[in-house]
Amino acid sequence: MPHKITLTGSATGPLREYDRYVAFDMREKGSPSAPKGLKKSTFISYTVFVAKKAFNKTGLTKKSIMHEKILIQGEPTLDIPIDECPGEIGVICFQITVLPNKNDKEKNDSEAKKEPKQEASASSEVPQKTESKKQEEEQAPVSQPVAKEEKKSSETVQSEAKETPVQEKKTAPSKRELPNQPKGTQDLVNFDDIIVPEEFLKTRPNPEKTQKVIDFVKRTGRLDEPLTIEKDSKVLKDGYRRYVVAKTVKMEQVPVVYEYQK
């Protein structure tokens, strides 16, 4: 089985274009503290080779690739000519993903917090206006029959106002339900979009337990539990056995539960 490699970071050099693929350089730091008696590890430079079709799907450009944080999954190679591979190790990329920017995430969170505050301030203005209208009606000199009619109209308005929130509660949209999916499923994700970390790929699930899940899928048409992935990067966090089963039975979509990045 060929060795798998996972890289995270930004490009350290310009994007180079070829006939059917593009290439760029990346660099990863060594461990800050080596075992006693050994020399500290140094930087390792990589040259990543990505198919043009896969690269264009990411939306990256020659300028943005040096500023965006990306995740690369692939296999190392030493058989590429040195003029095309200035890095110490070449990497044939099978999966490239743009990771979310922390600054953009903080902006979205702050905007989401501002919106409910604005709605609350708008709702607080409504009762103030109704109170001012009541004061004007009380101060206006009118005859007794007219006052009775106004009282009746105000009572009907108040009763309608009391009934509307109850109706709104009843018509609130229900939560999305996914038919024929395991309990706790939050969404369905394309199988090919899920990224499997290297530590999972080094393990082998128990064959007997894996076969039981395969039999369950053939019998029910679904997995017994959803996979756990990160919301933005779609990196697998838990459920590697069910991932292997979905791959074995060739499922196009799999049920997932999201684990949000901290």
CATH number of domain containing 77: 2.40.50.1040
Which pLDDT score is estimated for 79?
77
DSSP code per residue over 186-209: -EEEEGGGPBPPHHHHT----HHH
Task: Report yes or no on 170 lying in a domain.
Answer: no
Separation CA 211–CA 248 (nearest Å): 10
Residues 228/239, Cβ–Cβ less than 8 Å: yes
Q: What percent of the chain has pLDDT above 90? A: 28
> What pLDDT is attached to residue 65?
86
Using H for helix, E for strand and C for coil, what is the string for 66-126? HCCCEEEEEEEECCCCCCCCCCCEEEEEEEEEECCCHHHHHHHHHHHHHHHHHHHHHHHHH
The pLDDT of residue 211 is above 70: yes
Tens digits of per-residue pLDDT, 72-118? 999 998 777 767 888 888 899 999 998 887 666 566 666 666 666 55
Choose the final residue of a domain: 99, 123, 142.
Answer: 99
Cα end-to-end span (Å), the chain? 34
Whole-number percent of the chain with pLDDT over 70 = 66
Q: Coil, strand, or helix at residue 229?
A: strand
With cut-offs at 50, 70 and 90, classify the pLDDT of residue 36. Answer: confident
Q: What is the mean pLDDT of the chain?
A: 77
Residue 147 lies in a domain: no
Higher pLDDT, 128 or 203: 203
| 65: containing domain | 5-32+40-99
Q: What is the domain count for the chain?
A: 2
Averaged pLDDT, 179-196: 88
> Is residue 10 over pLDDT 80?
yes
Rounded to the nearest 5 percent, the helix, strand and coil shares of the chain are 40, 25, 35
Model pLDDT, residue 158? 60
Whether residue 150 lies inside any domain: the answer is no
**Is 202 part of any domain?**
yes
Decide if 229 is inside a domain.
Answer: yes
Residue that wins the pLDDT comparison between 241 and 134: 241
Residue with tokens 């060739």: 250
Using CA atoms, how far apart are residues 211 and 240, in angstroms rounded to an integer? 14
The pLDDT value recorded for residue 138 is 56
Task: Supply the pLDDT for residue 88.
Answer: 85
The H helix count followed by the E strand count for the chain is 6, 10
Neighbours of 200 (CB within 10 A): 18
CATH classification at residue 230: 3.90.1530.10
Q: What is the mean pLDDT of residues 18-46?
A: 79
The residue among 99, 120, 140 that closes a domain is 99
Q: What is the pLDDT of residues 109-164, one digit of tens each?
A: 666 666 665 555 555 555 555 555 556 555 555 445 444 555 555 565 565 555 55
